[in-house]
């Protein structure tokens, strides 16, 4: 008699229980049956939120509870966030003495990616107006960051381009306003932060281009790959800090729609892993990477440059926009390298990669030509 166990785990707010279901069947070689073991697992936090309690895998819940208890919070519900994140994220519902329940995000960065952890440690006070509220670092292993829930993306990252243009422009305006505040209020301190080791100057590196050309060979259309190779060779030969014509500020470095959140009237920027002292238009070049309409893209860039200069940024409009053109070439190459990485991982299919590569190459060529005028 052969036995083939199947184990089913159920999560929920019920008492631990295990029971067995035996299902016989016949096969040519032998009489056999499946034993199905159903395991009901009790949620040991013992509390039920409006959507029901959940217990998650791949996390030391006791450590998480201890960490939150150390900052005066009782974590009673945890849910792991699913998605294409560079870190492991959990929603945590907490109680504090004398206050209502609060929702936090608990973030476990990858071991090799501690950029945000370091930025919060070095410049947390200075960047407080733009960071998520209540942000706390846990420095012992595993390193982690906790922060107040800051809402959801202003536009849905996976379909922002399908939103009507007027709504996209309104959303860009909200993010541009927050980025302009960051750029203007850090302009005077940016160089000092770099000299003190609190912020890194922009690298002007062709690292992403090299990675793209290596990983995309045989994946992208030959013509697309050849054009990218030619542009990268010429562009990065002259791409350096001395090529920038406008002033440098402290930049967020990754303000795409997934990192621009809104809760009520507050707009919060998250994921401060790629910060640098750089041209302010670097952030706009990243913000508009997936914008399908060239006129909307141009309007957003021009509006941000005008806002900065009207509110005290030194420099000339043409110089600030020339920096934008350079940053668009660089960051479009970087974003296409990320598209190829997603394809290699199986997260996007060949048709989506083909569309992205053709669209991004068209932008790269257009802005590359503008930089040579």
pLDDT 10s digits, 113-146: 889 999 999 999 999 999 999 999 999 999 999 9
Q: What is the pTM of this model?
A: 0.83
Check pLDDT > 80 for residue 3.
Answer: no
Superfamily of domain 160-371: Aminoglycoside phosphotransferase (APH), C-terminal lobe (3.90.1200.10)
The whole-angstrom separation of Cα 64 and Cα 70 is 10
Q: Are strands 74-80 and 102-109 parallel, antiparallel or unpaired?
A: unpaired
Task: Give the phi and the psi of residue 38 in degrees, each rounded to 5.
Answer: -105, 120
The whole-angstrom separation of Cα 132 and Cα 130 is 7
Token look-up 């697309």 returns 224
Segment 192-219 mean pLDDT: 96
Q: Which structure tokens are listed for 107? A: 């973030």
The whole-angstrom separation of Cα 104 and Cα 90 is 8
Q: By percentage, how much of the chain surpasses pLDDT 90?
A: 77
Domain ranges of the chain: 2-42, 61-149, 160-371
**249 membership: H or E segment, kind and range:** strand 249-251
Q: Which residue has the higher pLDDT, 15 or 288?
A: 288
Please give the CATH architecture assigned to the domain spanning 61-149.
Answer: 2-Layer Sandwich (3.30)
Residue 356: pLDDT band with limits 50, 70, 90: very high
Check pLDDT > 70 for residue 162.
Answer: yes
Q: What per-residue confidence (pLDDT) applies to 98?
A: 67
Q: What per-residue confidence (pLDDT) applies to 52?
A: 38
Q: What per-residue confidence (pLDDT) applies to 86?
A: 75
Check pLDDT > 70 for residue 182.
Answer: yes
Q: What per-residue confidence (pLDDT) applies to 22?
A: 41
Segment 41-51 mean pLDDT: 37
Q: Distance between terminal CA atoms of the chain?
A: 81
Enumerate residues 6+ apart whose C-beta is below 8 A from 174: 154, 260, 262, 267
Residues 241, 204 contacting (CB under 8 angstroms): yes
Which of 207, 229, 240 has the alpha carbon at shortest distance from 371?
A: 240
Check pLDDT > 60 for residue 2.
Answer: no
Q: Of 95-109, 233-247, 337-351, 354-368, where does mean pLDDT reach its minimum?
A: 95-109
Q: What per-residue confidence (pLDDT) applies to 58?
A: 54
How far, CA to CA in Å, does 79 sit from each of 7, 11, 52, 54, 261?
A: 22, 12, 10, 6, 19
Check pLDDT > 60 for residue 31.
Answer: no
Segment 225-231 mean pLDDT: 97
């Amino acid at each position: 008699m052969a036995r083939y166990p199947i184990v089913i785990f159920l999560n929920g707010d019920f008492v631990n229980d295990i029971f067995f279901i035996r299902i016989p069947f016949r096969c040519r070689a032998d009489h056999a049956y499946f034993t199905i073991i159903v395991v009901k697992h009790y949620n040991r936090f013992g509390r039920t939120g409006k959507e029901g309690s959940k217990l998650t895998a791949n996390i030391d819940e006791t450590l998480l509870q201890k960490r939150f208890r150390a900052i005066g919070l009782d974590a009673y519900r945890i849910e792991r966030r699913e998605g294409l994140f560079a870190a492991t994220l959990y929603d945590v519902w907490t109680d504090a003495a004398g206050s209502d329940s609060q929702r936090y995000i608990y973030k476990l960065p990858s071991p090799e990616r501690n950029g945000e952890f370091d930025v919060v440690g070095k410049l947390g006070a200075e960047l407080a107006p733009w960071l998520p509220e209540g942000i706390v670092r846990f420095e012992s292993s595993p390193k982690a960051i906790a922060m107040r829930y800051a809402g959801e993306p202003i536009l849905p990252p996976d379909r922002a381009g399908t939103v009507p243009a007027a709504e996209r422009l309104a959303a860009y305006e909200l993010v541009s306003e927050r980025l302009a505040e960051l750029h203007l209020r850090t302009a005077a301190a940016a160089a000092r932060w770099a000299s003190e080791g609190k912020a890194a100057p922009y690298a002007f590196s062709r690292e992403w281009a090299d990675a793209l050309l290596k990983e995309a060979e045989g994946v992208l259309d030959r013509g697309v790959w050849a054009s990218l190779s030619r542009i990268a060779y010429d562009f990065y030969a002259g791409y350096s800090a001395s090529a920038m014509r406008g002033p440098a500020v402290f930049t967020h470095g990754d303000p795409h729609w997934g990192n621009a959140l809104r809760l009520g009237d507050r707009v919060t920027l998250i994921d401060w892993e790629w910060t640098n002292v750089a041209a302010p238009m670097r952030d706009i070049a990243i913000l508009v990477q997936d914008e399908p309409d060239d006129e909307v893209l141009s309007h957003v860039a021009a509006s941000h440059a005008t806002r900065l200069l009207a509110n005290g940024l030194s420099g000339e409009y043409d110089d600030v926009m020339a920096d934008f053109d350079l940053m668009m070439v660089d960051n479009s190459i970087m974003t296409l390298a990320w598209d190829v990485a997603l394809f290699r991982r199986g997260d996007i299919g060949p048709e989506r990669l083909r569309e992205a590569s053709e669209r991004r190459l068209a932008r790269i060529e257009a802005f590359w030509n503008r930089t040579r005028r």
